[in-house]
Amino acid sequence: MDVKILEIKQSVFANNNKQAEEMRATLKDSGIYLLNVMSSPGAGKTTTLVKTIEALKKQWKIGVMEADIDSDVDARTIMDTGVKTIQLHTGGMCHLDAEMTRQGLDGLGLCDVDLVFLENVGNLVCPAEFDTGAVKSVAILSVPEGDDKPLKYPLMFQVCDVVLINKMDVLPYFDFDLDRCIANIKMRNPKATVISICAKSGEGMKEWVDWLDHEVSAWKAQS
Amino acid sequence: MDVKILEIKQSVFANNNKQAEEMRATLKDSGIYLLNVMSSPGAGKTTTLVKTIEALKKQWKIGVMEADIDSDVDARTIMDTGVKTIQLHTGGMCHLDAEMTRQGLDGLGLCDVDLVFLENVGNLVCPAEFDTGAVKSVAILSVPEGDDKPLKYPLMFQVCDVVLINKMDVLPYFDFDLDRCIANIKMRNPKATVISICAKSGEGMKEWVDWLDHEVSAWKAQS
């Protein structure tokens, strides 16, 4: 089966925050939980999503929007899980805002979904500046990137609700101090939930999946 | 010794390409080779620079501009090599353009330097869109990021002259196909010079350092 590819248009709305609030209100009315997933290129967004989908797809009806500047490699990987998937091409844009996310949701179709993942463009800077209208945001930081990233890219760690520290399996091969990393994250965002995982091996994934499962239940109970 | 930190102002010039061409003409007149170093966060820009500086600092007088949104951790690391170093803070900006680079060069001071490195903001998207006025650009892609990055971030691999594939020491622990990665880079940019390195262990660094040494010599011979 071919991947559905949607070429996203640049937004014309000046007030992104208003668009984002309206989106969240609509999602609440519909009982749909949208999660914005952000990270550097190659931190493991897609692998983490595949494992999260496998753990939750019996519980919730899931949809995925894969945003990339080009290619459909991630959407193909996600499609193998059997959930509804769409590839968003940003036409060179380095992030998604609320209006671009809305175009994606329209393309995906919101009938019959409880939980939608937005895999944002791999970029630790720009996506943090734009509220996508998602209910919550998660940032993935992988061990090979280094424990100092919250010092250099403050906004990403300030705006996210959860930080997943991924690729814990390769910790022995890198100069990465987990305690220092968590302290750096907490300095930027004391309220952030921090979970160490290895999406590949499954380490730590239960805590993360439980967090998300609880979130979706709570959101749907309010709607 | 404290790190000199310069808060960069946003550019007011509409025509970045013109500013960049003027910068290159000035650099040529002065016999100064400016290299723009780009990559994702954590791909190893700073470690690669430290090793490159150590190999070339007897030959050439070197200066370094470290661009980050926040912190001065990289500038401190570079300062230990003993070369002239300045930390540029971009005030949240995700890239540097030619005018911002000029502000950095003014802050660094161009007396008595042959080779200046600009360590751009860690970002595989936006820095590729702006000509900094550098003589050449290098992109560093590290093994943990994956061999598919040239498919997803086309512009970065189109605009650079050299791609360094870094962290070759951890190849056994990642699903990374070196031949496929090189083919993906060449698809975007057939003329790119591709060199596999491990900045930490020194593997492949001689080929890279020789390339750069030859570049600086040729540039100075023309000036």
Chain B contact probe: residue of A45, A73, A120, A125 with most B CBs at under 10 A: A125
CB contact under 8 A, A41 and B129: no
pLDDT of residue A1: 65
Instruction: Give SS3 for B133.
Output: coil
Convert the pLDDT of each residue in B82-106 to its tens digit.
Answer: 999 999 998 888 999 999 999 999 9
Chain A partners within 8 Å of B124 (Cβ): 40-41, 122-123
Residues of A in contact with B165 (CB under 8 A): none
Task: Tell me the count of A-B CB pairs closer than 8 A.
Answer: 115
Q: Contacts of residue A169 in chain B, CB cutoff 8 Å?
A: 173
CA distance to partner chain B, nearest, from residue A119 (Å): 13
What distance, in Å, lies between the first and last C-alpha atoms of chain B?
A: 34
Per-residue model confidence (pLDDT) at position B24: 97
Domain positions in chain B are: 5-218
Nearest CA in chain A to B74: A152
- Asked whether the beta carbons of residue A170 and residue B173 sit closer than 8 angstroms, the reply is yes
Once rounded to an integer, what is the mean pLDDT over residues A123-138? 96
pTM: 0.93
**Exposed e or buried b per residue across B101-137, where buried means at least 16 C-beta atoms within 10 angstroms of its C-beta:** bbbbbebbeeeebbbbbbbbbbbbbbbbebbbbbbbb
Of A41, A126, A167, the CB nearest to B152: A41
pLDDT classification of B63: cutoffs 50, 70, 90: very high
Residues A69-86: what's their mean pLDDT? 93
The C-alpha atoms of residue B130 and residue B127 are separated, in whole angstroms, by: 6
Q: What is the mean pLDDT of chain B?
A: 95
Inter-chain residue contact B152 with A124, CB threshold 8 Å: no
pLDDT surpasses 80 at B3: no
- Burial profile A20-31: b = 16 or more Cβ within 10 angstroms, e = fewer: beebbeebeeee
Beta bridge partners of B85: B64
Least-confidence region, from B67-81, B138-152, B173-187: B67-81
How large a percentage of chain B has pLDDT more than 70?
A: 99
Is B98 buried (19+), middle (13-18) or exposed (0-12) by CB count in 10 A?
buried
Closest of B67, B74, B190, B204 to residue B143, by C-alpha:
B204
Yes or no: is domain B5-218 CATH 3.10.20.30?
no
Out of A76-80, A107-111, B78-82, least confident range: A107-111
Minimal C-alpha gap between B217 and chain A (Å): 34
Report the residue from B73, B125, B149 with minimal CB separation from A94. B125
List alpha helices for B97-200, DSSP H: 98-108, 149-152, 154-159, 178-188
CATH superfamily of A19-217: P-loop containing nucleotide triphosphate hydrolases (3.40.50.300)
**Residue count (chain A):** 223
